[in-house]
Structure 1
Amino acid sequence: MRRDPDPLLAPDSSDARPAGERDPYLTQLGERIRSLRAARGMSRKDLARGAEVSERYLANLETGTGNASVLLLRQVARALDVPLPVVLAEMETQHAAGGQPASEFSQLVQWLAQLPAADLSRVREACHHALAPSASHDARHRRITLIGLRGAGKSTLGRALAAAMEVPFVELNGVIEQEAGASLAEIHSLYGQAAYRRYEMRALERVLRENDRMVLATPGSLVSEPSTFNLLLARCYTVWVKTTPEEHMARVVAQGDMRPMEGNREAMDDLRRILLARTPLYSRADVTIDTSGQDPTTSLQALRAHLRIIGA
């Protein structure tokens, strides 16, 4: 029996490109989706499951060899927990030509993309101060929060800093599991990414209510959820604990977790992509501590020296 062609793999009949030549639009769209997936800390398997498509279909979409339908793109956007216009934003700005007006959102994205780095930083901070809930200087500085990718040293540095400051050390992952009554893996597999984000927000709200003073270590992907991250920035003094991709991977493996390497020849490429996608978000932290090539004691001394300067 003849089967209808899959909507994701259907060729564009209006395009007369030579065989094997990829459409630039589809290539850019695929890269956009892959970058969004990396920023959310989702594997291809996670996104395929959430969007209810096969990994093969998603791989074709990300490499620009499949032409997705609008309905399927909406499924992918929902699984990424972002509006569909965000998925298409870069596409719209690049193809709004010939006198066709771009949407207001696309115009804003295009304008921001043209700003020098220093100006973009000022716009970001202005938006943050205008939209984030207000909090006093002293209240923020009593809660020191560490952000960054897994393997940067947040837990090690956080425990040592909390002991030195004689304040509680809290790992948000543990509070998320308490809120959900399930492990992180179970939350993702049973309830999905959107449910995990809800538990993450509840956990953050809870630790903020219960702790006037603390050192908090957060999940690496928290910065990808705007409402949660803005709350964190408004209520805590944030520290980006950063290191090189190679040290991230080496430290995770040294902890006995081989999952980053299992059956994934692109593990380091994916890690670099995630770090690149999140760097603008991590850079919103109040201060950055680079632990590359540093032992925990040296990193702790550097952080404590900075906190003494600001009176935290």
Structure 2
Amino acid sequence: MNRNYTELPSSAPSPHAADEEAGRPDRAERTGEREERDPFLTAMGERVRLLRARRGMTRKTLAAETGLSERHLANLESGVGNASVLVLRQIAATLNCPLAEVIGDETTASAEWLLIRELLHGRDQAALQRARMALAEMFAQAPRDPHRKDRIALIGLRGAGKSTLGRMLAQERKVPFVELTRVIEQLAGCPPAEIHSLYGASAYRRYEHRALEAVIQEHERAVIASPGGLVSESGTFNALLSHCFTVWLQAAPEEHMRRVVAQGDLRPMSGNKEAMDDLKRILAGRSELYGRADMTFDTSEKTLADAYLQLRDRLAARLASESPDEASAS
């Protein structure tokens, strides 16, 4: 690239630091490797690791917020966690029902829920998407947002170009440019990093949702740069999809890392291999969520000028081709 994308420094945890211990097995994990692992526990551990990566939480943070030890979480994620869950699994298998029915969740509350689950079981992603859109249409509580196509929301990890390209789009479209992180900071009265350290990740997500609601209420037309982890909270992400035309700005992991360093964050330079592995893990964990965006645009190996012109033209073509009905579907 001839020029790096430069975004304003962010006080929120950067992607490369978001999963810092995930690639570093401790003694408990190394011991676990010598033990025979149950495939079910291993898969459950991987799901916990994936959920943590999507939310950009370190194992240390998760341990602090749950009151569990880091060693216990390391065992769980490596597939040598509390085997008592296997007893519940055996009971579920004997009773010929999903484990969720034994544990109990909302989808086991009634026979209708169970029938819906059975209807959706085994469907491919395209079929599930059609079902979700049909349900959203059926249960819509409010009329479709007539300004959805006038709010352009950029999603993706830090370093994809959300701030740089977002400002350029806003200037040409003659609309406000809004960085949601700044709105969160204004609402909380402190930087996002302090929200995390003082009140925890759940409090930060609440501020994130409030900030999005405030921006939607205030701006009928805008270009919005959203925090990378917003997609991990379904309520907030669904609100973004409903009220904004979303664009996932992609980049190769190496591009993300190079741009973050260009912004002045030199932390990736220490333990670069681990930082890169962490970033790839977060990208993999969030890719399905980012993929719900209305449009995807890859900024890798493009000059800033080329990236902006191509993004602008593709965006204009997509917006022009969509009817009001189509624009509300994500």
Does the 8 Å CA contact 2:46/2:78 hold for their aligned counterparts? yes
Which letter does structure 1 place at the counterpart of 2:66? A
Q: Report the Cα distance in structure 1 between the residues aligned to 2:45 and 2:117, rounded to whole angstroms.
A: 18
Aligned residue for 2:123, secondary structure, equals coil
Query: How high is the TM-score relative to the length of structure 1?
Result: 0.79
The Cα shift of 1:97 comes to: 3.1
Which residue number corresponds to residue 26 of structure 1? Answer: 41
Asked if the contact 2:145/2:243 (under 8 Å) is kept, the reply is: no
Shift of 1:281: 1.2
Q: Tell me the equivalent position of 1:14.
A: none
Evaluate the alpha carbon distance shift between residue 270 and residue 238 of structure 1 in structure 2; reply closer, same or farther with a 3 A threshold: same
- Which runs of structure 2 are paired with 1:266-277 in the superposition (5 Å)? 266-277=274-285
In 1, Cα distance between equivalents of 2:91 and 2:250: 36
Quick one: higher RCO (CA 8 Å, sep 6+), 1 or 2?
2
- 8 A contact 1:145–1:218 mirrored in 2: yes
Q: C-alpha deviations, 1:186-214, integer Å up to 9, x for none?
A: 00000001110111111111111111111
Which 5+ residue runs of structure 2 have no aligned equivalent? 1-27, 109-113, 323-330
Alignment length (residue pairs):
277
Contact 1:291 1:299 in 2 (8 A): yes
Letter in 2 for 1:37: R
RMSD: 3.0
- Secondary structure of 1:144's counterpart equals strand
Q: In structure 1, how many angstroms separate the alpha carbons of the residues matched to 2:40 and 2:63?
A: 21
* Alpha-carbon separation, structure 2, partners of 1:267 and 1:128: 39
Partner residue of 1:80? Answer: none
| Structure 1 residues without counterparts, runs of 5 or longer | 1-8, 10-17, 71-87
How much has 1:124 moved relative to structure 2? 3.7
Report sequence identity in percent.
Answer: 56
2:159 is equivalent to residue 151 of structure 1: yes
Q: Residue 38 of structure 1 aligns with which residue?
A: 53
Deviations 1:120-168 (A, max 9, x none): 3323433444456555464101111101111111111101111111111
Query: SS at 2:228's partner residue?
Result: coil
Match of 1:308 among 316, 319, 323: 316
Partner of 1:162 in structure 2?
Answer: 170
Counterpart for residue 53 of structure 1: 68
| Local SS of the residue matching 1:266 | helix
- 1:52-105 CA deviation, whole Å, 9 max, x = no partner? 2232332222112332778xxxxxxxxxxxxxxxxx9xx96x995345222384
SS in 1 for 2:63: helix
- Divergent runs of 4+, >6 A: 106-111
Letter in 1 for 2:302: Q
Match of 1:85 in 2: none
Normalization by structure 2: what TM-score?
0.75
Structure 1 residues 42 and 171: alpha-carbon distance in aligned structure 2, compared to 1, 3 A threshold: same
**1:232 alignment partner in structure 2:** 240
Moved more, 155-164 or 94-103: 94-103
Answer yes or no: is the 8 Å Cα contact 1:61–1:68 preserved in 2: no
In 2, distance between residues paired with 1:157 and 1:110? 44
Q: CA deviation at 1:118?
A: 2.6
**Which residue pairs with 1:175 in the alignment?**
183
Amino acid at match of 2:232: S
* Structure-1 separation of matches of 2:218 and 2:309: 28
